[in-house]
Amino acid sequence: MQKAPAAAARLAVLSTFIALAALFIAIALPSLAQAANRGGLAAYEYEPAEPAEPTPTEPTETEETPTTTGEAGRAMLVNGRAIAPMNAPTAVRQVIAAANKIRTTPYIWGGGHGRWWDSGYDCSGAVSFALHGAKLMSLPLTSGSMAAWGAPGRGRWITIYSNASHAYAVIAGLRWDTAGDEDESGPRWHEALAAAAGGSFVARHPVGY
């Protein structure tokens, strides 16, 4: 007759255990869900996240993008030396400075092609030397080769005019040429822009200038 109280006691213990288990589950489930959302638990079913949009980048400067804004300035000619305009880009200033260094050298056919620093320069050698001053040209070119160099047409700051027998440049509004002096003594600056040598010329310019 003592089995009934014992069974009742076991039932009471079991009921208490079930109640505690239910309470634990009720408390633990929200925490487990949060952990799963944080990646603490592996999810059995999930929707893959869409790939993130690539971070937009600033457009790169194109080869033909001008290096300055506004009208291109005109260099001044003072005692045979060109003075760069105030708004000239650094490269244009360097080209002018390089040309000034050889502006009193004599004309020598082939001069400036075997080496940059020479005792004299021919037409394309003088143009090549000036452009090399701004690292716009890595090797001296012949006048014929300049007809295919750089970009086609006139530039804002620098234009090279060339044909098979002659080449000259207009740089910041001044002509850099070995032709046009009375004695045609060598590379010189000229205010007149018209070609001093005969023939038709192809216009090219350094990319960006």
Residues in contact with 143: Cβ distance below 8 Å, sequence separation at least 6, in sequence order: 123, 124, 162, 163, 164, 165, 166, 167
Would you say 82 and 98 are in contact if contact means Cβ atoms under 8 Å apart? no
- Which of the 8 DSSP states describes residue 133? T
- What are the tens digits of pLDDT across the range 68-94? 456 788 999 999 999 999 999 999 999
What residues does each domain of the chain span? Answer: 1-49, 76-205
How many beta carbons lie within 10 A of that of residue 180, not counting itself? Answer: 16
What is the rounded average pLDDT for all residues in the chain? Answer: 78
Instruction: Tell the burial category of 190 from Cβ atoms under 10 Å away from its Cβ (0-12, 13-18, 19+).
Output: middle
- What are the tens digits of pLDDT across the range 116-125? 999 999 999 9
Instruction: Tell the burial category of 84 from Cβ atoms under 10 Å away from its Cβ (0-12, 13-18, 19+).
Output: buried
pLDDT-based confidence at 46, cuts 50/70/90? very low
pLDDT-based confidence at 185, cuts 50/70/90? confident
Domain 76-205 top-level CATH class: alpha beta
pLDDT-based confidence at 187, cuts 50/70/90? very high
Q: With a cut of 50, say whether residue 66 has pLDDT above it.
A: no
- CA torsion sign for 33, 39, 45, 47 is positive
pLDDT-based confidence at 36, cuts 50/70/90? very low
Residues in contact with 81: Cβ distance below 8 Å, sequence separation at least 6, in sequence order: 100, 103, 189
